[in-house]
Amino acid sequence: MLTSRQLCGIFPAIPTLVDTDDRIDATAVYTLFSWLKRGGIDGVLPVGGTGEYGALARAERIRMARLSVEAMAGTGPVIAGVLDTGYHDALQAVGEFAAEGVDAALVLTPYYTNPTQAGIRDYFLRLADASPIPVLIYEIPYRTRIAVEPRILHELSRHPNIIGMKACNLDMYHFLQVVAGVSDDFTVLSGEDSLFPLHMAAGAKGGILVTASLLPRAWRGIFDAAAAGRTAEALSLHRELIPMMNLAFAETNPGPMKSVIDLIGVSAPRMLAPLVDAAPALSKAFRAEVSRFLIRTEASL
């Protein structure tokens, strides 16, 4: 059973690679995983937001979880994203992913219904009680309009089956309050490429990062510096990535990512409705920026 201590390092949030029938391209998936493992990742997050969870057919979500487990082959945790709006669908998804061998589920706060803090607390406690695998909390208020108060996260962190969270709240003071009060058996992972070294300095143990799918070695270097307490070095390395990150998130993720994924030998750029391909000008600029880093930091992979 996965523990909070194993939630450490770089976990790319990976895009779901599909063919013209919106079915997963298994060859492309294996090619991507080969690239990531050579780049020094510590685990992986399939079928989350970057994986277009809401646009995938349920059967394809399950298949992507299975392929991810097979491709990782025990070299690191597979944490499946669960982005359903309600308890029963979320619990069903967790059970289906557990049956495919995933190590944990990253469960999004229940959006649209606009629950109270008491409702959020009850939701995660009930889900953790029933889940056959460990649960991580996914807080991303700029997407869901649901923020979890630090005191609620402190309480949830003491449930034995809730082992961590992906923190995407852009409020650094909120982050500091969360880290200050969570259990020792609970790991906070940064979910923001843009804030990663700051989150590490403030107590994160690693990150679930979007652009690590393209540049695993660059993010490995930032993590290694931050984990060793070389914060100035981590910030300097991270600063070099800012133009790339601005382009990666200029349109809805993973549009820009998929438009340049052929640069790492993966040919599966198709987006799932309602998302569409990145604008050509954006894709061109992003391609040039990613290429520059591939030459500098990833060429030997």
Catalytic residues: 138, 166
Residue 103 CB contacts under 8 Å (≥ 6 apart), including other chains: 2, 43, 77, 78, 79, 133, 134
**Cα torsion angle, 260, 264, 268, 274, sign:** negative
List the one residue out of 82, 111, 83 whose CA is nearest residue 97.
82
**Cα-based distances in Å from 280 to 180, 244, 252:** 44, 16, 14
CA gap 81, 93 in Å, rounded: 9
DSSP string for residues in 10-52 = EEEBPPPPB-TTS-B-HHHHHHHHHHHHHTT-S-BB-SSTTTT
Q: Please report, to the nearest 10 degrees, the dihedral formed by the alpha carbons of residues 132, 137, 143, 144 taken in order.
A: 80
Q: In a 10 Å sphere around its CB, with 0-12 CB exposed, 13-18 middle and 19+ buried, how is residue 80 labelled? A: buried
Identify the bridge partners of residue 136 per DSSP, sorted by sequence position.
Answer: 106, 164
Identify the bridge partners of residue 135 per DSSP, sorted by sequence position.
Answer: 105, 162
CA 10 to chain centre: 10
Three-state SS for 8?
Answer: coil
